[in-house]
Amino acid sequence: MNDPTMPASTLREWIADQLQCSSESIDLSPCGSGRYNQSWFVRAETDDYVVRMAPPDDPSQHLFYEYRMMRREPVIHQAVREKTDVIAPQVIAHQRIVPGLDRDLILMERLKGNPVSESPDLKESQLEEVLRGIGRWLSEVHSIEATSFGYPGYVDSDGIQQGPMPPRTTWIEAFAIMWDRLIDDMERCHGYQPEEAQIMRQLLTQHSEHFEHPVSPCLLHMDVWAENILVDQKGQLSGLIDWDRALWGDPEIEFAVLDYCGISTTSFWEGYGRPDPRTDDSKAQIRRIFYLLYELQKYIFIHLVRHESPRSAESYKRQSFELARKILY
């Protein structure tokens, strides 16, 4: 998704405009992390920032919930910063379709530290303490509730609510839309043949009763992994970044992503403050398979459309159907 032809002068001018400083005083250096947006570290006089540029505004290149998702981010950051002790970056500025770039841009403060993925000297004991801290933070995030389920939207320039899906009053209604639209994405990129897509659609229909459990629309990060967890020079937790995939939903879907990314260790649950609620719950184990599938299937699209790697996409497809077979009737 990177664009080597991006005019750095235009980017500097936009940043200077937001910070009310000279564009000559701005130094840009590429940020190695981030797989979806293009990011740079910004040095402006004596202060440090991060600027992120959204991919081209082409719906065919994005999963249904990714399209224009940067526009949903400022409200999420504000809620997290106001209602929790989580260290999340302050959004300094956000602009839609910046002239000369034809992309959305967001400017944020740069938090101290580096991603866990770039901290090879981190000791095991330090990592476990970091995961304990992530557990505490996510417990706070999950305490933020909305009045409806689904991916958040944003208000366009005409005052009209836009977004990847309509809000829903129950989790099963919201997840059914999410599941169906993800399968639509698999079909349109030819990752699934129509009959394969139908198998996946019927899978949720067959198990929909397992999603009828008491749950509130909690705020979920949905992308907690080593690249989005920051630690300082002492190996201490210093920030949680990349909130653009946030969702109002069942915390169990977040737990499944944490399982997939190796975050939900014993230390995580100690920090979270209560044991894994899915233990010894057969219905929760069925839901977990769906939530893992929701995470896994997206890579079919990503590898076919954005990485142009059919072999990798086929591997993720095979893994998805092997997982689905565990609950096929």
pLDDT of residue 60: 95
- Given 109, 125, 149, which residue is the final one in a domain? 109
> Residue 168 gets which letter from DSSP?
B
pLDDT of residue 32: 75
Q: Which of 218, 198, 221 is nearest to 321 (CA)?
A: 198
Question: According to the 3-state scheme, what is the secondary structure of 171-215?
Answer: HHHHHHHHHHHHHHHHHHCCCCCHHHHHHHHHHHHHHHHHHCCCC
**Are 155 and 296 in a shared domain?**
yes
**b (16+ CB within 10 A) / e for 270-305:** ebbeeebebeeeeebebbbbbbbbbbbbbbbbbbbb
Backbone angle region of 34, left / alpha / beta, with phi > 0 → left and psi within -120 to 50 → alpha: left
pLDDT of residue 1: 46
Question: CA 324 to CA 329: how far, in whole Å?
Answer: 10
Residue 99 domain-assigned (yes or no): yes
Residue 180 domain-assigned (yes or no): yes
Residue 133, domain extent: 114-324
324 SS3 class: helix
**Are 157 and 89 in a shared domain?**
no
CA angle 78, 83, 89 (to 5 degrees): 40
**Are 244 and 306 in a shared domain?**
yes
pLDDT of residue 3: 57
Residue 190 domain-assigned (yes or no): yes
Cα 312 versus chain centre, distance = 21
- For CA atoms 96, 27, 4, 296, give the dihedral sign: negative
105 SS3 class: strand
Could you tell me if 197 and 323 are in contact, meaning their C-beta atoms sit under 8 angstroms apart? no
pLDDT of residue 156: 86
Residue 2 domain-assigned (yes or no): no
Residue 1 domain-assigned (yes or no): no
**Are 103 and 130 in a shared domain?**
no
Report residues of the chain scoring pLDDT below 50.
1
CA dist list (Å): 13 to 5, 44, 96, 102, 131: 16, 12, 15, 14, 39
pLDDT of residue 5: 56
**Are 169 and 25 in a shared domain?**
no
**Are 52 and 79 in a shared domain?**
yes
**Are 89 and 163 in a shared domain?**
no
**Are 246 and 159 in a shared domain?**
yes
Q: Which of 38, 62, 5 is nearest to 304 (CA)?
A: 62
**Are 52 and 138 in a shared domain?**
no
Q: Which of 90, 84, 89, 91 is nearest to 137 (CA)?
A: 84
State pTM to two decimals: 0.95
Question: CA 77 to CA 241: how far, in whole Å?
Answer: 9
124 SS3 class: helix
Q: What is the pLDDT of residues 119-162, one digit of tens each?
A: 999 999 999 999 999 999 999 999 999 999 999 999 888 888 89
